[in-house]
Protein backbone atom coordinates (compact mmCIF):
# COMPACT_ATOMS: atom_id res chain seq x y z
CA UNK A 1 0.00 0.00 0.00
CA UNK A 2 1.18 3.49 -0.77
CA UNK A 3 1.90 5.54 2.33
CA UNK A 4 -0.16 8.65 3.01
CA UNK A 5 1.35 12.08 2.63
CA UNK A 6 1.66 13.87 5.93
CA UNK A 7 1.43 17.32 4.34
CA UNK A 8 -0.95 17.35 1.37
CA UNK A 9 1.12 19.78 -0.64
CA UNK A 10 4.70 19.63 0.52
CA UNK A 11 5.72 17.71 3.66
CA UNK A 12 7.81 19.71 6.06
CA UNK A 13 10.64 17.27 5.66
CA UNK A 14 10.63 17.86 1.91
CA UNK A 15 10.88 21.56 2.41
CA UNK A 16 13.72 21.31 4.90
CA UNK A 17 15.78 18.85 2.93
CA UNK A 18 15.72 16.53 -0.01
CA UNK A 19 16.70 13.43 2.01
CA UNK A 20 14.67 10.21 1.99
CA UNK A 21 11.39 10.01 4.04
CA UNK A 22 11.81 9.13 7.71
CA UNK A 23 9.00 6.55 7.84
CA UNK A 24 6.71 4.55 5.58
CA UNK A 25 3.80 6.78 6.50
CA UNK A 26 5.55 9.81 5.20
CA UNK A 27 6.22 10.10 1.50
CA UNK A 28 9.02 12.24 0.13
CA UNK A 29 7.79 14.96 -2.20
CA UNK A 30 10.30 17.17 -3.96
CA UNK A 31 9.47 20.80 -4.60
CA UNK A 32 9.61 21.67 -8.30
CA UNK A 33 11.92 24.54 -9.14
CA UNK A 34 9.08 26.46 -10.74
CA UNK A 35 7.20 26.41 -7.45
CA UNK A 36 10.11 27.57 -5.34
CA UNK A 37 10.03 31.17 -4.25
CA UNK A 38 12.91 33.06 -5.68
CA UNK A 39 14.29 36.10 -3.99
CA UNK A 40 13.92 39.25 -6.12
CA UNK A 41 17.15 40.28 -7.70
CA UNK A 42 18.40 43.47 -6.20
CA UNK A 43 19.61 46.15 -8.58
CA UNK A 44 22.94 47.51 -7.44
CA UNK A 45 23.01 51.18 -6.69
CA UNK A 46 25.47 53.27 -8.68
CA UNK A 47 28.76 53.82 -6.92
CA UNK A 48 31.95 55.61 -7.74
CA UNK A 49 33.61 52.22 -8.20
CA UNK A 50 31.32 51.03 -11.00
CA UNK A 51 32.68 50.98 -14.52
CA UNK A 52 31.64 54.00 -16.56
CA UNK A 53 29.81 51.96 -19.20
CA UNK A 54 27.52 50.42 -16.56
CA UNK A 55 25.47 53.62 -16.35
CA UNK A 56 23.91 54.51 -19.69
CA UNK A 57 23.53 58.25 -19.63
CA UNK A 58 21.58 59.93 -22.45
CA UNK A 59 23.84 61.82 -24.80
CA UNK A 60 23.30 65.56 -24.79
CA UNK A 61 22.33 66.89 -28.20
CA UNK A 62 24.83 69.21 -29.80
CA UNK A 63 23.91 72.82 -30.45
CA UNK A 64 23.39 73.26 -34.18
CA UNK A 65 24.77 76.48 -35.65
CA UNK A 66 23.72 77.57 -39.14
CA UNK A 67 26.12 80.06 -40.71
CA UNK A 68 25.42 82.25 -43.73
CA UNK A 69 28.23 83.06 -46.17
CA UNK A 70 27.86 86.41 -47.96
CA UNK A 71 28.34 89.24 -45.48
CA UNK A 72 29.09 86.79 -42.65
CA UNK A 73 32.01 84.59 -43.66
CA UNK A 74 32.63 86.18 -47.05
CA UNK A 75 33.46 89.86 -47.55
CA UNK A 76 30.97 90.02 -50.38
CA UNK A 77 30.58 93.79 -50.67
CA UNK A 78 34.29 94.60 -50.52
CA UNK A 79 34.99 92.06 -53.26
CA UNK A 80 32.17 93.42 -55.43
CA UNK A 81 33.05 97.07 -54.82
CA UNK A 82 36.74 96.56 -55.64
CA UNK A 83 35.93 94.76 -58.89
CA UNK A 84 33.42 97.45 -59.84
CA UNK A 85 35.83 100.32 -59.21
CA UNK A 86 38.85 98.62 -60.78
CA UNK A 87 37.08 97.73 -64.02
CA UNK A 88 34.88 100.84 -64.23
CA UNK A 89 36.76 103.86 -62.80
CA UNK A 90 34.59 106.24 -64.86
CA UNK A 91 31.28 105.08 -63.34
CA UNK A 92 29.61 106.63 -60.34
CA UNK A 93 29.77 104.77 -57.04
CA UNK A 94 28.61 104.85 -53.44
CA UNK A 95 31.23 104.94 -50.70
CA UNK A 96 31.03 101.78 -48.54
CA UNK A 97 30.22 103.79 -45.41
CA UNK A 98 27.12 105.11 -47.17
CA UNK A 99 25.77 101.71 -48.15
CA UNK A 100 22.19 101.08 -47.10
CA UNK A 101 19.85 98.17 -47.59
CA UNK A 102 20.46 94.48 -48.15
CA UNK A 103 21.32 94.61 -51.85
CA UNK A 104 24.10 96.77 -53.25
CA UNK A 105 22.88 96.61 -56.86
CA UNK A 106 19.39 97.74 -55.80
CA UNK A 107 20.79 100.86 -54.09
CA UNK A 108 22.91 101.69 -57.17
CA UNK A 109 19.87 101.31 -59.40
CA UNK A 110 17.81 103.63 -57.23
CA UNK A 111 20.56 106.25 -56.98
CA UNK A 112 22.19 106.14 -60.43
CA UNK A 113 19.97 104.20 -62.82
CA UNK A 114 20.34 101.19 -65.10
CA UNK A 115 23.96 101.56 -66.27
CA UNK A 116 25.65 101.16 -62.90
CA UNK A 117 23.09 98.58 -61.85
CA UNK A 118 23.73 96.42 -64.92
CA UNK A 119 27.50 96.55 -64.46
CA UNK A 120 27.10 95.17 -60.95
CA UNK A 121 24.72 92.47 -62.20
CA UNK A 122 27.21 91.42 -64.87
CA UNK A 123 29.90 91.03 -62.22
CA UNK A 124 27.60 88.91 -60.05
CA UNK A 125 26.81 86.67 -63.03
CA UNK A 126 30.44 86.21 -64.05
CA UNK A 127 31.80 82.68 -63.96
CA UNK A 128 33.81 81.90 -60.82
CA UNK A 129 33.26 85.35 -59.32
CA UNK A 130 32.23 83.71 -56.02
CA UNK A 131 35.24 81.42 -55.94
CA UNK A 132 37.67 84.27 -55.28
CA UNK A 133 35.63 86.22 -52.73
CA UNK A 134 37.61 87.73 -49.87
CA UNK A 135 37.19 86.07 -46.45
CA UNK A 136 36.20 87.82 -43.23
CA UNK A 137 39.08 86.42 -41.22
CA UNK A 138 37.66 86.82 -37.66
CA UNK A 139 34.53 84.99 -38.80
CA UNK A 140 36.49 82.18 -40.44
CA UNK A 141 38.61 81.80 -37.31
CA UNK A 142 35.54 81.71 -35.04
CA UNK A 143 33.75 79.08 -37.14
CA UNK A 144 36.86 76.90 -37.33
CA UNK A 145 36.96 77.12 -33.53
CA UNK A 146 33.35 75.91 -33.35
CA UNK A 147 34.19 73.00 -35.61
CA UNK A 148 36.75 71.83 -33.03
CA UNK A 149 34.29 72.19 -30.15
CA UNK A 150 32.36 68.95 -29.38
CA UNK A 151 29.40 70.94 -28.04
CA UNK A 152 28.48 72.28 -31.47
CA UNK A 153 27.71 71.10 -34.97
CA UNK A 154 28.14 73.62 -37.75
CA UNK A 155 26.23 73.80 -41.03
CA UNK A 156 26.63 76.35 -43.81
CA UNK A 157 23.27 77.82 -44.85
CA UNK A 158 23.59 80.14 -47.82
CA UNK A 159 21.47 81.47 -50.68
CA UNK A 160 23.13 80.89 -54.05
CA UNK A 161 23.03 83.47 -56.83
CA UNK A 162 20.73 81.54 -59.14
CA UNK A 163 21.63 83.43 -62.32
CA UNK A 164 25.32 82.64 -61.87
CA UNK A 165 25.87 79.15 -63.28
CA UNK A 166 29.06 78.46 -61.28
CA UNK A 167 27.96 80.02 -57.97
CA UNK A 168 27.06 76.83 -56.09
CA UNK A 169 30.24 75.07 -57.21
CA UNK A 170 32.36 78.13 -56.38
CA UNK A 171 30.86 78.49 -52.91
CA UNK A 172 31.57 74.82 -52.16
CA UNK A 173 35.21 75.27 -53.19
CA UNK A 174 35.46 78.43 -51.09
CA UNK A 175 34.26 76.48 -48.05
CA UNK A 176 36.75 73.69 -48.69
CA UNK A 177 39.53 76.27 -48.80
CA UNK A 178 38.71 78.25 -45.66
CA UNK A 179 36.64 75.74 -43.62
CA UNK A 180 38.12 72.37 -44.63
CA UNK A 181 36.51 70.47 -41.74
CA UNK A 182 32.98 71.10 -43.02
CA UNK A 183 31.76 68.13 -45.02
CA UNK A 184 29.86 68.68 -48.23
CA UNK A 185 26.67 67.15 -46.78
CA UNK A 186 26.65 69.96 -44.20
CA UNK A 187 26.28 72.68 -46.79
CA UNK A 188 22.72 73.88 -47.39
CA UNK A 189 22.12 76.10 -50.41
CA UNK A 190 18.59 77.41 -50.37
CA UNK A 191 16.64 80.61 -50.84
CA UNK A 192 14.35 79.59 -47.97
CA UNK A 193 16.37 79.23 -44.79
CA UNK A 194 13.27 78.92 -42.60
CA UNK A 195 12.89 75.26 -43.58
CA UNK A 196 16.33 74.35 -42.19
CA UNK A 197 16.43 73.08 -38.60
CA UNK A 198 18.94 74.62 -36.24
CA UNK A 199 19.37 76.31 -32.88
CA UNK A 200 20.94 79.51 -34.21
CA UNK A 201 21.21 81.10 -37.65
CA UNK A 202 23.98 83.68 -38.05
CA UNK A 203 22.97 85.90 -40.96
CA UNK A 204 23.52 89.50 -42.08
CA UNK A 205 19.96 89.82 -43.37
CA UNK A 206 17.74 91.48 -40.78
CA UNK A 207 14.63 89.83 -42.20
CA UNK A 208 14.50 86.05 -42.59
CA UNK A 209 11.34 85.10 -44.45
CA UNK A 210 10.12 81.87 -45.98
CA UNK A 211 7.58 79.08 -45.96
CA UNK A 212 7.95 78.47 -42.24
CA UNK A 213 6.63 81.49 -40.34
CA UNK A 214 8.10 80.19 -37.06
CA UNK A 215 11.53 78.70 -37.83
CA UNK A 216 13.16 76.62 -35.12
CA UNK A 217 16.37 78.63 -35.02
CA UNK A 218 17.08 81.89 -33.22
CA UNK A 219 18.24 84.55 -35.64
CA UNK A 220 21.58 86.15 -34.78
CA UNK A 221 22.08 89.28 -36.87
CA UNK A 222 25.71 89.56 -37.96
CA UNK A 223 26.68 93.20 -37.93
CA UNK A 224 28.00 94.58 -41.21
CA UNK A 225 27.94 97.81 -43.22
CA UNK A 226 24.48 97.62 -44.73
CA UNK A 227 22.68 96.74 -41.46
CA UNK A 228 24.51 99.16 -39.17
CA UNK A 229 21.26 101.06 -38.58
CA UNK A 230 19.50 98.03 -37.07
CA UNK A 231 19.31 98.18 -33.28
CA UNK A 232 18.46 95.60 -30.66
CA UNK A 233 14.75 95.23 -30.10
CA UNK A 234 12.14 92.70 -29.10
CA UNK A 235 12.07 91.49 -32.70
CA UNK A 236 15.87 91.54 -33.00
CA UNK A 237 17.29 90.59 -29.59
CA UNK A 238 20.50 88.92 -30.81
CA UNK A 239 23.07 90.99 -32.68
CA UNK A 240 26.64 89.83 -33.17
CA UNK A 241 28.64 93.05 -33.02
CA UNK A 242 32.04 91.32 -32.82
CA UNK A 243 32.96 87.69 -33.43
CA UNK A 244 34.64 87.64 -30.02
CA UNK A 245 31.12 87.82 -28.53
CA UNK A 246 29.83 84.73 -30.32
CA UNK A 247 30.19 82.25 -27.43
CA UNK A 248 28.26 84.56 -25.10
CA UNK A 249 25.31 84.40 -27.50
CA UNK A 250 25.20 80.70 -28.36
CA UNK A 251 26.32 79.14 -25.07
Strand order in the sheet with 63-67: 187-189, 152-158, 63-67, 200-203, 218-222, 239-240
DSSP string, the chain: -PPPPSSSSS-HHHHH--SPPSSTTS---PPPGGGSPPPPPPPPPP-TTS-GGGS-PPPPPPEEEEE--BTTTB-HHHHHHHHHHHH-TTS----GGG--SS-HHHHHHHHH-HHHHHHHHHHHTSTTTTTTPPB-HHHHHHHHHHHT-TTEEEEEEE---TT-TTHHHHHHHHHHHH-TTS-GGGEEE-S-GGGS--SEEEES-S---SS-SS-SSEEEEEP-GGGTT----SS---EESSGGGHHHHH-
Catalytic residues: 68, 70
Q: What is the CA radius of gyration of the chain?
A: 36
CA angle 236, 242, 98 (to 5 degrees): 75
**What are phi and psi for residue 65, nearest 5 degrees?**
-110, 125
Amino acid sequence: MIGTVKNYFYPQSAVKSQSAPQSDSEEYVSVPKSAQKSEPKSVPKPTNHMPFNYLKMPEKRKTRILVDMDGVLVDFETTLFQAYRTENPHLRYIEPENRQGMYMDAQYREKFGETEYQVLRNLLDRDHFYRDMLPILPAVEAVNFLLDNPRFEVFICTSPHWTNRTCAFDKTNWIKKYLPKIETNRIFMTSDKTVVDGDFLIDDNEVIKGTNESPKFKHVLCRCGHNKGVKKSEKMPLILEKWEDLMDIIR
